Amino acid sequence: MSNPTPVIDIKGLHKAYGALEVIKGVDISAHRGDVISLIGSSGSGKSTILRCANLLEDSQQGEILFKGEPVKWKGTGHGRHPSDAKQVLRIRTNLSMVFQQFNLWAHLTVLQNVMEAPVTVLGRNKAEVEEKARHYLNKVGIGDKADVYPAQMSGGQQQRAAIARGLAMEPEALLFDEPTSALDPELEQEVVRVIKDLASEGRTMMIVTHDMKMAHDVSDHVVFLHEGLIEEEGAPDTLFGAPKSERLRQFLSSTMAV
């Protein structure tokens, strides 16, 4: 039986930039082994939710819990910030974020990129970290690129290196923010294959994506966001096969048109 305490639990989340409210009260939970995809048009708040979950952005209202532990806040509204820096670091190191633009260090080799955070942030033994880093590079299919610099690799290879870097932290969950949108279709498939493999291993993941086929194939649960609110959510077969809301039907007809 699955652990009843979610790895990530977002309750009543509100986020605004000045007067512009982009998240207007959202609840999302990811239990261990869940793969949750967030879909919706640009500006619907998908990436912002992910960044709030990882505490890269401050939210103004609502609770964020990591394995049942609530984030500690000080202040209110636009003055609200996490109050415990150690807690923030602990949560961030357990929620590895994979960005759209890879964010690899250009001056480090791929292997050094993957090793950097476990050694410097977690203080792990360098030899052990190197062994694990090579394991994860093999896992994502670029073990032969360990000593290459990011600029010498394709976008698909760079994104797979970014995924290996996230895995090297051995996190409780992986957060993917549009992991394939900067790639051309052929390279996109390399990354989708890796994400599918991770999903089949029962890893906990939250994925913001424009790729409806991937969302359908890898997710346990899909959340459709519209103007900062959850318009509809459910199992992928139901959501894609029999959408209830007119807005979701419109969105799917425009994104899945051949």
| 188 found inside a domain | yes
CA pair distance 41, 225, nearest whole angstrom: 8
Task: Determine which helix (DSSP H) or strand (DSSP E) holds 194, and give its type and residue range.
Answer: helix 185-200
* pLDDT band per the 50, 70, 90 thresholds, residue 257: low
| 36 found inside a domain | yes
Beta strands in the chain (DSSP E): 8-17, 20-30, 35-39, 61-66, 69-70, 73-74, 81-82, 95-98, 173-177, 205-208, 221-226, 229-234
* 1 pLDDT above the threshold of 50: no
| 119 found inside a domain | no
* pLDDT band per the 50, 70, 90 thresholds, residue 178: very high
| 162 found inside a domain | no
Residue located via tokens 């912002």: 48
| 22 found inside a domain | yes
Domain that holds residue 230: 8-101+173-255
- Spatial neighbors of 7 by CB under 8 A, at least 6 apart, are 30, 31, 32, 34, 66, 67, 172, 173, 204
Structure confidence at residue 7 (pLDDT): 95
| 158 found inside a domain | no
Residue located via tokens 């900067």: 182
pTM: 0.92
| 226 found inside a domain | yes
| 87 found inside a domain | yes
* 74 pLDDT above the threshold of 90: yes
Per-residue pLDDT reduced to its tens digit, 91-147: 999 999 998 888 899 999 999 999 999 999 889 999 999 999 999 999 999 999 999
Structure confidence at residue 185 (pLDDT): 85
Structure confidence at residue 64 (pLDDT): 96
How many structural domains compose the chain? 1
* pLDDT band per the 50, 70, 90 thresholds, residue 3: low
Structure confidence at residue 103 (pLDDT): 87
26-30, 101-105, 146-150, 165-169: least confidently modelled range: 101-105
58: domain CATH number? 3.40.50.300
